[in-house]
Structure 1
Amino acid sequence: MAGSRHKLMLRQPEIILRLTATQHDQLKRTLFPGDGKESVAVALCGTHRSAQRTVLSVHRINAVPDESCTERSAVSVVWPTEPQVPLFSEGARKKMVVLKIHSHPSGFPRFSGLDDKADRALLGSLLKLAPNEIGHASAVMLPEGKIFARLLGGEGRFSKIARVVVVGDEIVSFEDSRSIKGALFDEAFLRTQQAFGARTASMLSKMRVGVVGCSGTGSWVVEMLSRLGVGELVLVDPDVIERKNLNRILNSVASDAAAARPKVKVFARAIRRLGLGTKVTSYQTDILQRKVVHSLAGCDFLFGCVDSADGRDALNRVAAFYIIPYVDVGVLLQADGKGSVQQVCAAVHYLIPDGSSLLSRRVITAEQVRAESLRRRSPDQYAALRKEGYIQGVNVDSPAVISINGFAASHAVNEMLARIHPFRRDANGEFRAQTFSLSDGAWLRIEDGPVCPFLSKRTGRGDCEPMLDNSELS
């Protein structure tokens, strides 16, 4: 009987389509030229597959010129596919998914019979010419910008894409409203629902959030996310609890330090004891491992609570390649070790996949990334070069205090909430980079940096070799 119940619980992987706000705006301009007739575009999508999720991320969009279409009306569009053959060929070569998206100017909220016929013809042909394990996709945009989508697999059946997520200064999730109304209510999250509404509470319960770095700042982030009702956490940290950590890592106790328990295991234990239903996947390693990147690629949001430049760069790459919003949080406490404090400050950065990066914002440098990569791969060579003065400006251990870590982490988590439930009076775009100086009493919004020339070209690329275009992960 238990076996039967287990079989009944098995579900097909959820299918998610992600695109950036810039891509969404591009599509809306293309698909709604203002004449009340249907228009169409095609796109290449990167992919990510796991047992729980199939994720498509829009990589590049080709508009089909309206003047090239042989027929356009309020309910149909007929367009030539020949000019798109190079894109189809590229998709086949790179094992990417082709997405066809057209408009419904009338606002018709479903795929029509004409859509069914056209999709089977186009996507069915693509499955023969550019076969892959996932299939190819079709989507419709409505005048208000809502998108719904589906996937045609190799077996010739349509599968509904459960969520279409737009990642920008706000994170917009298009999904069936019935899934929100049908969500089970837990009184433990009553206050969250009262503050942010049922939709946001439901969104949190479905989110898979990655937290890389589970020490001082990360421990606060994990605690707050689990109590907000986030559905699943992916925790990444290579270290164990030491006695010097007990002053600032939540849920750690002296026996954890004595037993040298992994930080991620201590948090997994705490979340289970909390009993609010948050699932935990943990990795006692650093981010630059294939299995870790693969797991983070399926997340809906990422938090970076690490000091290392190469770790922060890797997280920035994951966010761009798989179109995931990313918050980087850091703390700096400068002290002389004798009780005198020169500076106490924190920084919270919100990064959009096709926007600026930590490198283009000059938060980290390429030299720091190279140096720390060398330190991890070849400690002896790194030590020799540093001794000779060839390596400078790398991070060293600095003082850490629980109250400062908690302050920074609270701002980071509130930054996530502001993106999924905009509550600010000023535009979210003005809060992409913020610094807080507790010693000076200053709270500053910093001007965003330029679009990252490297990552912007890789937005939505998804799985590829070498992974993240990083030879260390090949």
Structure 2
Amino acid sequence: MNVTLSISVDQHDKLFDHLFPGDNLEAAALLLCGGAKHADRYRLSVREIILLDHDKCKRLDDRISWPTDLIVPHLDTAEALGLSVIKVHCHPGGHSAFSSDDDEGDGELLPIVRSWVAANLPHGSIVMLPSGRLFGRYLWQGHAMHNLDMISVAGPDIRFFPNVQRNTAAEPSFGASQDQAFGEGTTSTLAKLRAGIVGISGTGSPLLEQLVRLGFGEVVIVDPDHVEDRNLNRILNSSVADAQAARLKVDVAETAVLATGLPTRIIKMATTLMSAPAIHALSVCDVIFGCVDTHTGRFLTNLVSTYHTIPYFDIGVMLDAAVEGDDKGKILDIFGTVHYLVPGRSSLISRDVISLSTVAAEGLATSDPAAAAQQVRDKYIRGAVASRPAVITINMFAAALAANDFLARVHNYRQMPNADVASIEFSLGQLRLVADEEQEDCTLLRPWLGHGDIAPLLGLPELWEISQ
């Protein structure tokens, strides 16, 4: 089982401030975590942080202890809500491994937690170092503890802390040139990640090509549609034969990836996001890219990102054409935006990219596929008269912008702080590239940060039946 833990940057900062008060003594906290499982992956996401009072703990420079009654109320909460419990403490001296005292303490505490919560859930222990780095382990079935495969911090900078003790096969030689640009560590980390792409046409198609060539370990692709003749000028690796056979877009994409012989594994979801399998597959991803135009698709993707603390890149493009006069149909400008969403901060709703009224109008379930498809086309190309515009160049530009934004947050190469780049807007007509700063937190979604899988899925009544 591949078990990972995700935490938002704001939660990480809160922990750091508590664990390192400046006295060079160990300090501790508890994390109550939601969870999600898909196949052989389980993702823990931090829902609540309980800071253990310094004055009520026995704190030394190399160990810490506390009275049992200090954590009992929180174990009761975990039992009532079905949450995983993670003990976290610091090593102020920077020791980057569990000590013998840690082994003894975890060996006593974690079995008690497992018995108390009485649910088939992983519970664990993590250590924070003065650099902010995290490493950890968990207890699930049996008596053996296992290292967490990855701990990630979702913020303007995306930090991945993989299990460095796991033996991995040598990285494929195709990544050697990439190592020169982004470093061997980044390339090695990408091979351990699962990315999600919602919408594999338009911007999603060239994005998948890039993620595979970058060396991602797994990519989940979600798209219910089949290839049509009008798609052939925008979907990489699609053919006339695919359109004639009405092959599913996800099947065409998987076939192309398999043909490369590269190690990326594709997980296909030939469905909309309004399905339990698609939501579960995305909920254990390390990063999600949204490549859909509907408000509903973007809203659901934003929810998955929030509930499971997953960094989310939303990609949108628009061709603006004259709607009347002698220039009717003439392209006036080409716009696009890559929005980066830090879980627990602003959302596509608070940024006015989508509206709940439009989500309601779309009905969350497409009752009229033909009308819905036309609506997407009307949004995608405002006022254009051509039924099959050649937009692959624009889609590839926008997809590359999103992929490079992700890389900048993992391996910072920009000359401005990532905290100053919440979205990137481009105008090809004006040859303009503009970064916008973060906006206010979304009061609607923030309370659901790290809740993991709940019933109904994503807290939506419409998903109650299919989540059972």
Please report the TM-score for the alignment, with normalisation by the length of structure 2. Answer: 0.91
C-alpha distance in structure 2 between counterparts of 1:394 and 1:244, whole Å: 12
C-alpha distance in structure 2 between counterparts of 1:378 and 1:250, whole Å: 29
C-alpha distance in structure 1 between counterparts of 2:139 and 2:258, whole Å: 39
For 1:32-61, what per-residue CA distance to the aligned partner results, in whole angstroms no more than 9, with x for missing partners? 111111111111011112332121111110
Offset at residue 473 of structure 1 (A): 1.8
Secondary structure class of the residue paired with 1:75? coil
For 1:159-198, what per-residue CA distance to the aligned partner results, in whole angstroms no more than 9, with x for missing partners? 2212211111122122344558x54132222221221111
For 1:110-152, what per-residue CA distance to the aligned partner results, in whole angstroms no more than 9, with x for missing partners? 2222222222332222222212212321111122222111112
Indicate the larger mover: 115-124 or 128-137: 115-124
Alignment match, 1:405: 395
C-alpha distance in structure 1 between counterparts of 2:397 and 2:209, whole Å: 13
C-alpha distance in structure 2 between counterparts of 1:85 and 1:137, whole Å: 16
Alignment match, 1:325: 311
Alignment match, 2:227: 241
Asked if the contact 2:316/2:336 (under 8 Å) is kept, the reply is: yes
Offset at residue 396 of structure 1 (A): 4.1
1:444 aligns with 2:434: yes
Offset at residue 27 of structure 1 (A): 0.9
- The unaligned stretches of length 5 or more in structure 1 are 1-12, 387-391
User: Could you tell me which of 413, 418, 422 is aligned with 2:408?
Assistant: 418
Asked if the contact 1:31/1:38 (under 8 Å) is kept, the reply is: yes
User: Could you tell me which of 197, 200, 205 is aligned with 1:219?
Assistant: 205
1:161 aligns with 2:148: yes
Query: Judging changes above 3 Å, is the alpha-carbon distance between structure 1 residues 349 and 24 closer, same or farther for their aligned structure 2 residues?
Result: same
Offset at residue 154 of structure 1 (A): 4.7
Alignment match, 1:6: none
1:346 aligns with 2:333: no
Alignment match, 2:184: 198
| Pairs within 5 Å for 1:78-93 | 78-93=65-80
Asked if the contact 2:293/2:376 (under 8 Å) is kept, the reply is: no
Alignment match, 2:16: 28
Offset at residue 393 of structure 1 (A): 11
Asked if the contact 1:208/1:231 (under 8 Å) is kept, the reply is: yes
Secondary structure class of the residue paired with 2:48? strand
Asked if the contact 1:241/1:261 (under 8 Å) is kept, the reply is: yes
C-alpha distance in structure 1 between counterparts of 2:351 and 2:379, whole Å: 21
| Pairs within 5 Å for 1:30-429 | 30-69=18-57, 71-177=58-164, 179=166, 182-336=168-322, 339-373=329-363, 376-379=365-368, 396=379, 398=381, 400=389, 401-429=391-419
1:19 aligns with 2:7: yes
Offset at residue 254 of structure 1 (A): 1.1
Indicate the larger mover: 31-40 or 162-171: 162-171
C-alpha distance in structure 2 between counterparts of 1:49 and 1:397, whole Å: 35
Query: Judging changes above 3 Å, is the alpha-carbon distance between structure 1 residues 256 and 242 closer, same or farther for their aligned structure 2 residues?
Result: same
Indicate the larger mover: 229-238 or 444-453: 444-453
Indicate the larger mover: 311-320 or 275-284: 275-284
Query: Judging changes above 3 Å, is the alpha-carbon distance between structure 1 residues 187 and 133 closer, same or farther for their aligned structure 2 residues?
Result: same
Matched AA of 2:87: K
- The unaligned stretches of length 5 or more in structure 2 are none
Offset at residue 210 of structure 1 (A): 0.7
C-alpha distance in structure 2 between counterparts of 1:353 and 1:220, whole Å: 25
1:471 aligns with 2:456: no
Asked if the contact 2:210/2:403 (under 8 Å) is kept, the reply is: yes
Asked if the contact 1:45/1:460 (under 8 Å) is kept, the reply is: yes
Asked if the contact 1:43/1:99 (under 8 Å) is kept, the reply is: yes
C-alpha distance in structure 1 between counterparts of 2:460 and 2:7, whole Å: 23
Query: Judging changes above 3 Å, is the alpha-carbon distance between structure 1 residues 396 and 36 closer, same or farther for their aligned structure 2 residues?
Result: closer
Alignment match, 2:447: 457
Offset at residue 109 of structure 1 (A): 2.2
Offset at residue 104 of structure 1 (A): 1.5
Secondary structure class of the residue paired with 2:340? strand
Asked if the contact 2:346/2:438 (under 8 Å) is kept, the reply is: yes
C-alpha distance in structure 2 between counterparts of 1:370 and 1:449, whole Å: 24
Q: CA RMSD in A?
A: 2.2
For 1:317-358, what per-residue CA distance to the aligned partner results, in whole angstroms no more than 9, with x for missing partners? 111111111100000112247541123100001111111100
C-alpha distance in structure 1 between counterparts of 2:437 and 2:419, whole Å: 10
Asked if the contact 1:371/1:394 (under 8 Å) is kept, the reply is: no
Give the aligned length: 451
Matched AA of 1:410: A
Asked if the contact 1:44/1:60 (under 8 Å) is kept, the reply is: yes
Asked if the contact 2:147/2:163 (under 8 Å) is kept, the reply is: no
Please report the TM-score for the alignment, with normalisation by the length of structure 1. Answer: 0.90
Offset at residue 241 of structure 1 (A): 1.1
Secondary structure class of the residue paired with 1:206? coil
Matched AA of 1:120: G
Matched-pair identity in %: 39
